Amino acid sequence: DACGIGFVANLKGKKSHEIIKDALVMLENMEHRGGCGCEKNTGDGAGILIQIPHLFYKEEARKLNIDLPELGNYGTGLTFFPKNEIHKSACREILYNVAKELNLTILGWRKLSVDNSLVGPIALSGEPDIEQIFIISNYHLEDADALERKLFVFRNYVAHKIHKEVENTKDLFYFTSLSTSTVIYKGQLTTWEVEPYFKDLQNELTESALALVHSRFSTNTFPKWKLAQPFRYMAHNGEINTIRGNVNWMRTKETLLNSSLFTKEELEIILPICDPDQSDSANLDNVVELLY
């Protein structure tokens, strides 16, 4: 009676394409746990979270003359851009300015290969341009966790600035994830559209030792590309009726935030953590991510 969630993992951590294929089959078998509109090919949202397929990305990046460092030394993620070229250009300018401000370097972008021929008109009306970002730190960090924290600050700071400074981007500019370890393929799709839409998922070099899938049944928010799940740290299959109170309580706690792992300036520019326009699950994920 709620969203469908599935998880597949190899207990020994062995990566394979089979893990991803099995997860996508499971996702398709949960089509009844997701919502759709009057068009059977416009869904409430579906997606998959996997480990970064480093060998596949390294080969794809090489074709673009991007030399990726070893896994854990770079961040990557899928970026939703508005299709309007003026707005997209403005978003990109902010991305580069913030990267420079935070002492990060954007190595380059990869236009994602997608097939939207099966996607319904309503979903297509909100379809973003999807590009993959590759980003590194300009200075040595002690481990991947340190870079992960820098990417967390970068992603939040960029999103806040773009949503504030570039019109009509609140729903159209979005990082599905930005991480040194995981990547998320998702959209306002049905469960059976995820694999054919994202051609990366069909490639045998796309390997992972785990996969988390989600079929969304929209409850307290309308379907949007950015509200499809999984989110960056979790997937959720219920409705939190205390969402407004939870968001307000989180706002009251933000002035008390303190951490030895973040500077005062970093904590300021990532705020606010929650967004009243997001779903209950999205805001829960935002807080889980911050605490993690």
Return the pLDDT at 248.
Answer: 87
91 is catalytic: no
DSSP assignment letter at 262: S
**How far apart, in whole angstroms, are the C-alpha atoms of residue 96 and residue 87?**
15
State pLDDT tens for residues 231-286: 888 787 766 767 778 888 888 999 889 999 999 999 999 999 988 777 778 888 89
Query: Does residue 38 have a pLDDT over 60?
Result: no
Instruction: Among 32-41, 162-171, 235-244, name the one with the lowest average pLDDT.
Output: 32-41
Q: What is the DSSP string of 15-72?
A: -BHHHHHHHHHHHHTTGGGS-B-SSTT-BS-EEEEEE--HHHHHHHHHHTT----STT
Return the pLDDT at 23.
Answer: 96
Nearby residues of 130 by Cβ (< 8 Å), 6 or more positions away: 78, 79, 80, 81, 111, 112, 114
State pLDDT tens for residues 119-160: 888 888 889 999 999 999 999 888 889 999 999 999 999 999
Which amino acid, 44?
Answer: D
Return the pLDDT at 221.
Answer: 64
Task: Please tell me which residue in 3, 36, 91, 274 is annotated as part of the active site.
Answer: 3
- Write the CA distances from 126 to 99, 115, 189, integer angstroms: 27, 15, 11
State pLDDT tens for residues 86-115: 999 999 999 999 999 999 999 999 999 999
pTM of the full structure: 0.90
